[in-house]
Amino acid sequence: MPEFPPEIYLAIFSFLDARSLASCQQVCQSFLALINEMVALEYTNELARHGYIDHAADLPLLYRLDQLHEHHNAWDKLDGVWSEIILDRSGPSTQMYSGNVLAKNSGQGRFDFTRLPSSSPCVEQREWLIPVPDSNLGVSEFEIDASQNLLVVYKCPWWERNPNIPVQFHLLTMSSGKAHELASAPILKHVHNDPNFSVSFTIQIAGDHLGVRFNANVAPTELVYLTGNEIRSFAFLTEKHVVIAVSTDTELRLLVVNFIAESSEQTRVTNVTHCLALRLPNLSPSSVLLDFIIECDPSPTWPNQDDSIPFHDEVLYSVTLCTVAGKYRITILIPRRTLLAQLRSFVTGAKEVEWSAWGPEGARVLFFRMLDSIAWATFGSRFVAFHYHLGEIDVYDFNQMTLKRKLSSGCPLQYGNPNKLLRPPVGQDDPTLLVVDETVLPSDALIFQEEVRTSLPFCARAFPTYLRGTQDPYPFGLMCSQDNITIISSKYHVFTLGDSGHAQPKG
């Protein structure tokens, strides 16, 4: 082999992924030493080892590497501190959460924003207000995307039902309330052609795309002008695909639609052409479906233009089912890669994929008794649940690289039974449960017609809060971000990961 300057090899190595670098490290001692000495190559290897994706290339490499280790260790040990933010409960309010930003429509002609403290990067708590635009129109709903500094305000004259009066979507800068500088038009208008139009709807943001699900007499309309009683909810998968939860009698499907390829004309969901149906298990005939909700947080395009985020992990989709007759509330957790893997069926021309071909190994069913008092949220690869009465938070991590490292660590391992109430131990040095056995949901649970088994493995951890036994008149909610877990009651109870110590305010 001819001798080349080390700089030549390092330039070549910089184009390789972690798997290729690992192969090069086995070629000779010189390659091993070169790769081990380069921070950039170490960072590439550490990203792959932790299952993360690089984002902010302008941040110094050493900073990104340190942040990666600190972020992982904080979540691995659930190490952080509690703080409280007092809420203004005067008047009606609607709350949203994006990244580390809390937003509230106070109902008093303004939006209240709070940026939570963050250890990655170092961000202090900040609060600000912006006025509601065009006070002559009522604000029905809003959405924020902190990574794009974007506030979307939906405005409609609630005293009018004239279908010729358009509803408005104001695209504003979240930090100032001014028109967003990247928007080609500051206001989007939509004339709804249903005389019985209702202002109930859902907004989703993914990069340059805004998705809106309108409700008119419980018959929704979707972003790409899809209509039909079967549509229950939707979430973005990519910047050109949405996943729509569709139900017909006992059949449940996740419909993946290429909305860029579809016509701009209004089309019934049963008539779309660029789509793929992912079958879910059929409902029991005795079940009456109340909710069929697919969600992901953050958006699959996050962190967008936010260069303060050094890296991120894979998005986890939650599909929640609630029925009248069922004993359980069902959540099906699906990593984004499982859904993306099904896109190859577009190439083969397939229109439908059976549950047995993608679900049992690519998803995990969690079931909670309907009477259990639990709030939950997802962010990235984590599903977080707060048990009101126990005062505990459970964190289920579906990052498969985390699981592989645990299995190969050589440390004593604890395994959890997914068919019983998972109670990860609290207060041990490493209270992680590895859940690798199948979840079995029997047919007599009155959710599905047949027994359902899923086996996507995950890690489970728990930690106590100071809220057990508190007499709070407000219902609890839960929100999660890159390094915060927030319990919502009469206050925001914020657990910030990565800060030293465990100082807890008095409950």
**CA neighbor of 279 nearest in space, from 201, 222, 362:** 362
Structure tokens at 304: 């967008």
Q: CATH fold of 76-497, please?
A: Methylamine Dehydrogenase; Chain H (2.130.10)
pLDDT in tens, 105-122: 877 778 889 888 777 666
234 pLDDT band (50/70/90 cuts)? very high
Compute the CA torsion angle 236, 242, 246, 251 (nearest 10 deg): -100
Residue 337 has pLDDT above 90, yes or no: yes
Q: Are 395 and 75 in contact (CB under 8 A)?
A: yes
Q: Which residues pair with 277 in a beta bridge?
A: 255, 352
**CA neighbor of 278 nearest in space, from 363, 358, 353:** 353
pLDDT of amino acid 6: 80
CA 337 to chain centre: 14
Q: What is the mean pLDDT of residues 322-330?
A: 79
CB atoms near residue 68 (< 10 Å): 20
Q: Taking CA 325 as the corner, what is the angle to CA 322 and CA 328, rounded to the nearest 5 degrees?
A: 50
pLDDT of amino acid 2: 59
pLDDT of amino acid 255: 95
pLDDT in tens, 339-369: 999 998 887 888 899 999 999 999 999 988 7
Sign of the CA dihedral running 261, 267, 269, 271? negative
226-227 and 267-268 beta bridge pairing: parallel
pLDDT of amino acid 159: 46
- How far is it, in rounded angstroms, from Cα 147 to Cα 136? 29
What DSSP element (H or E) covers 32? helix 29-37
**CA neighbor of 194 nearest in space, from 175, 172, 218:** 218
Question: Would you call 446 helix, strand, or coil by DSSP?
Answer: coil
Residue 226 has pLDDT above 90, yes or no: no
pLDDT of amino acid 168: 83
- How far is it, in rounded angstroms, from Cα 121 to Cα 400? 25
Q: Are 438 and 453 in contact (CB under 8 A)?
A: yes
Domain extent listing, the chain: 6-54, 76-497
- How far is it, in rounded angstroms, from Cα 330 to Cα 376? 12
Q: Please tell me which residue, 179 or 141, carries the higher pLDDT value.
A: 179
Question: Would you call 74 helix, strand, or coil by DSSP?
Answer: helix
**CA neighbor of 311 nearest in space, from 10, 75, 114, 479:** 75
The string of DSSP letters for 326-362 reads -SEEEEEEEEHHHHHHTTHHHHHT--EE-HHHHHHHH
pLDDT of amino acid 152: 92
Report the range of poorest mean pLDDT among 53-67, 157-171, 276-290, 406-420.
157-171
**CA neighbor of 295 nearest in space, from 343, 236, 246:** 236
Residue 164 has pLDDT above 70, yes or no: no
Q: Please tell me which residue, 61 or 219, carries the higher pLDDT value.
A: 61
**CA neighbor of 129 nearest in space, from 153, 108, 148:** 108
Structure tokens at 231: 């549509």
Q: Taking CA 384 as the corner, what is the angle to CA 447 and CA 355, rounded to the nearest 5 degrees?
A: 35
pLDDT in tens, 263-288: 888 788 888 889 999 999 999 988 88
Read off φ and ψ for residue 259, nearest 5 degrees. Answer: -75, -20
- Return mean pLDDT, the chain: 83
225 pLDDT band (50/70/90 cuts)? very low
220 pLDDT band (50/70/90 cuts)? very low
- How far is it, in rounded angstroms, from Cα 414 to Cα 35? 35
- How far is it, in rounded angstroms, from Cα 273 to Cα 351? 9
504 pLDDT band (50/70/90 cuts)? very low
For residue 422, the one-letter residue type is L
pLDDT in tens, 418-477: 887 777 777 666 678 899 999 999 888 888 999 999 999 999 998 888 887 666 666 678
- How far is it, in rounded angstroms, from Cα 215 to Cα 347? 33
312 pLDDT band (50/70/90 cuts)? very high
Structure tokens at 368: 């909670």
Q: Are 70 and 46 in contact (CB under 8 A)?
A: no
Residue 306 has pLDDT above 70, yes or no: yes
- How far is it, in rounded angstroms, from Cα 40 to Cα 48? 13
Report percent pLDDT > 70 for the chain. 84
Sign of the CA dihedral running 251, 338, 101, 177? negative
316-323 and 328-335 beta bridge pairing: antiparallel
CB atoms near residue 347 (< 10 Å): 7
**CA neighbor of 461 nearest in space, from 422, 500, 406:** 422
Q: Are 415 and 404 in contact (CB under 8 A)?
A: no
- How far is it, in rounded angstroms, from Cα 376 to Cα 507? 21
pLDDT in tens, 72-97: 999 988 888 888 887 665 554 567 77
pLDDT of amino acid 474: 64
Q: Please tell me which residue, 478 or 370, carries the higher pLDDT value.
A: 478
